[in-house]
Amino acid sequence: MSLSHPLWASYGRSGSTSAGRWADRFGGWCRHRGQSPAHGTVRTSTPNRRRFWASGSSACRVGSLHVATLGSGLAGTSSGTTYIESVAGIRMGGRTGLTSVATACCFLPCLFLAPLAAAVPGFATAAVLILVGATMFQPVARIEFGRIEEALPAFATIVLIPLTFSITQGILWGFILHAALFVIVGRARVVHPMMYALAVLSVGLLVLENW
């Protein structure tokens, strides 16, 4: 990599703090790849945009989401909401990092309204939660029920979550069955090694919880 590479150029223009330097380096790399550092908007004039979008440069698109997901886990909040809010911002026309800032400002009053929401009894919100659950159930139609190694882990996860009153229990058993069944049917190479690591960790967590 030459010194004229945009990555080093952006690093030289960075601020005094290390956070600013890394942000500038990441932004410079994204601009070099033809994307926006906020969520990876393709700004290249390459005719084959679909291939460009599917290439390794998609790290710009998800890099900021990974950082935000890590931060939400450290703060004890749901990591899924990070991606959901980003998608909602893109659907509404957001193209820069200011979209996330505006979303954060809208959520700020919720910190003070949270006690009021906690005062609402559970039976008053049950109908809404059932409706949301029915809406979230739509992706089940995409499961290949013709393959036992894909159908059984999904079925076990869906069933065990309400039966055990624990989302964690359902997901843990889903990880374990997914890895085990793919090995049994001879498709072990299809599964990513990280999934096997999650399955081992899931077994360990279940053992510790029931020891």
Which of 167, 135, 171 lies closest to 153 in space, CA to CA?
Answer: 171
Same domain membership, residue 195 and residue 159 = yes
Last residue in a domain, options 66, 87, 111: 111
Distance of CA 77 to the CA centre of its chain: 13
- The domain of 43 spans 34-111
In a domain, 147, yes or no: yes
Confidence of residue 4 (pLDDT cuts 50, 70, 90): very low
Bridge partners, 42 (sequence order): 35
Q: Measured between alpha carbons, how far is 184 from 182 in angstroms, rounded to an integer?
A: 5
Last residue in a domain, options 69, 92, 111: 111
Same domain membership, residue 53 and residue 101 = yes
pLDDT of 21? 44
Average pLDDT over residues 95-103: 79
- Whether residue 38 contacts residue 99, with contact meaning beta carbons closer than 8 Å, is answered with yes
On the CB side of 79, CA atoms within 13 Å amount to 10
Confidence of residue 152 (pLDDT cuts 50, 70, 90): very high
Same domain membership, residue 160 and residue 91 = no
Residue pLDDT, tens place only, 66-92: 676 677 667 766 665 555 666 667 777
pLDDT of 19? 40
Same domain membership, residue 126 and residue 84 = no
Same domain membership, residue 139 and residue 80 = no
In a domain, 57, yes or no: yes
Same domain membership, residue 129 and residue 103 = no
Last residue in a domain, options 111, 137, 166: 111
Residue pLDDT, tens place only, 7-16: 434 334 434 4
Same domain membership, residue 161 and residue 88 = no
Amino acid at 21: R
User: Inter-axis angle of helices 148-164 and 167-184, to 10 degrees?
Assistant: 160
Average pLDDT over residues 50-78: 59
In a domain, 4, yes or no: no
For the chain, the average pLDDT equals: 71
In a domain, 51, yes or no: yes
Per mean pLDDT, which range of 34-43, 69-78, 182-191 is the poorest? 34-43
Same domain membership, residue 74 and residue 96 = yes
Per mean pLDDT, which range of 11-25, 50-64, 70-84, 141-155 is the poorest? 11-25
Bridge partners, 35 (sequence order): 42
**Number of domains within the chain:** 2
pTM above 0.85, yes or no: no
Same domain membership, residue 107 and residue 126 = no
Q: With a cut of 50, say whether residue 190 has pLDDT above it.
A: yes
Q: With a cut of 80, say whether residue 2 has pLDDT above it.
A: no
Same domain membership, residue 175 and residue 105 = no
- Dihedral, CA atoms, 135, 136, 141, 143, nearest 10 degrees? 180
In a domain, 27, yes or no: no
pLDDT of 101? 82
Same domain membership, residue 106 and residue 132 = no
